[in-house]
Amino acid sequence: MKYDILISGVGGQGTVLASRILALSSIEAGFFARTAETIGMSQRGGSVVSHVRIGSENSSSVIPLSGADLLIGFELCEAARCIQRLSPDGKCIVNKQVIKPVTVSLGNSNYDTDGITEFIKKNCKCPVFIDGYSLAEQAGSVKAVNIVLLGAAAGLGFLPFDRSVLEKVIASNVPQKYVELNMKAFELGYREGIMQKTVAAC
């Protein structure tokens, strides 16, 4: 089985940990996994992308354009920016959160929330929009938005392994004192995923 997941977001949102958890879960489930990360200067609040390639013994680490089976956008505009890598039948989860770049706050560029949302809807089959920020806040920290989104992906049935595999990997890859918080974040995301699945019928 081959399955390509693209994660996009803003440096500091925990995309690297999310991709690591997905890849480790794939290995745990018996697959060969690769990832490619943005590390370095862009991590200082710039656009970041992680590629997770499952069943990728003979592939490179970067997902080709129109190749991703799933896109998890951690931020509205960053999701839109990466849609060209999503396959025409690909699934897409978008965290509705808006993080305005400094260029926008300074008035040098424009962040058109409605326009971007429309763009996503027009260019991918049935995007699932999630308020990851509020769910993470509910779980105890907005920093857990990455785990909320993984929970949602699992709840929606978009991942090729069981939630139990993910939970095990999360528990062993976050600091001990945050395990409970992250489990709660995962659960909240998972439930949101299940709910959206029945509503959206993707």
Partner 1 sequence: MRKLLMGNEAIAFGAIKSGVRVVTGYPGTPSTEVLETIAKNNPGHIYVEWSVNEKVAMEVAAGAAYAGARSLVTMKQVGLNVASDPLMSLVYIGVKGGMVILVADDPGPFSSQTEQDTRHFAEFSNLPVFDPSSPEEAYQMIEAAFELSEKVQLPVFLRPTTRICHSCSTIDLPDSFEKPGNPEGFQKDPRWVIFPALAYKKHIHVEQLQTKLSEMFSSSPFNQVVGSGKKGIAASGVAYSYVKEYLSMTDARVKLFKVGTPYPLPSKLALEFLNGLDEVLVVEELDPVVEESLLQLSASNLLNVRIYGKKTNHLPFAGEYSFELVKDAVQKFLGTGIHEDMGHKLTPSDFPARPPVLCAGCPHRGSFYAVKTAMKGQKAVFTGDIGCYTLGNAKPLDMVDTCLCMGAGITVAQGLKHAEPDVRHIAFIGDSTFFHTGIPGIINAVYNNTDITVVVLDNGTTAMTGHQPHPGTGKTIMGSISEKIDIFSLVKACGVKFIKKANPFNLKESARIIREAVEFNGPSVVIFEGPCISLYKPSRIMSVTDNCTSCKKCIREIGCPAMYTEGKKVRIEPSLCYGCTLCSQVCPFDAIGGADQ
β-strand partners of 68: 86
Smallest distance from the beta carbon of 60 to partner 1, in angstroms? 4
List binders of partner 1 among 120-179 (CB under 8 A).
123, 141-143
The answer to the question of residue 181 lying near partner 1 (CB under 8 A) is no
Structural contact between residues 155 and 191, judged by C-beta atoms closer than 8 angstroms: yes
Smallest distance from the beta carbon of 199 to partner 1, in angstroms? 26
Q: Based on C-alpha coordinates, what's the Rg of the chain?
A: 16
Structural contact between residues 55 and 3, judged by C-beta atoms closer than 8 angstroms: yes
Q: Which of 66, 96, 98, 99 is nearest to 83 (CA)?
A: 66
Among 64, 157, 164, 172, binds partner 1 (CB under 8 A): 64
Among 109, 126, 157, 164, binds partner 1 (CB under 8 A): 109
Among 1, 108, 198, 201, binds partner 1 (CB under 8 A): 108
Smallest distance from the beta carbon of 51 to partner 1, in angstroms? 8
Among 7, 33, 92, 130, binds partner 1 (CB under 8 A): 33
Smallest distance from the beta carbon of 157 to partner 1, in angstroms? 23
Among 116, 147, 149, 185, binds partner 1 (CB under 8 A): 116
β-strand partners of 91: 70
Count of beta carbons in the 10 Å neighbourhood of residue 61 = 13
Q: Which of 21, 144, 26 is nearest to 74 (CA)?
A: 144
Count of beta carbons in the 10 Å neighbourhood of residue 55 = 16
The answer to the question of residue 62 lying near partner 1 (CB under 8 A) is yes
The answer to the question of residue 115 lying near partner 1 (CB under 8 A) is yes
Residues 164, 60: Cα–Cα separation, whole Å? 28
Residues 125, 88: Cα–Cα separation, whole Å? 7
- Of the two residues 42 and 164, which places its CB atom closer to partner 1 in the complex? 42
Structural contact between residues 151 and 189, judged by C-beta atoms closer than 8 angstroms: yes
| Residues near partner 1, by CB under 8 A | 10-12, 20, 23-24, 27, 32-47, 58-62, 64-66, 77-78, 80-81, 83-84, 86, 88, 99-106, 108-111, 115-116, 119, 123, 141-143
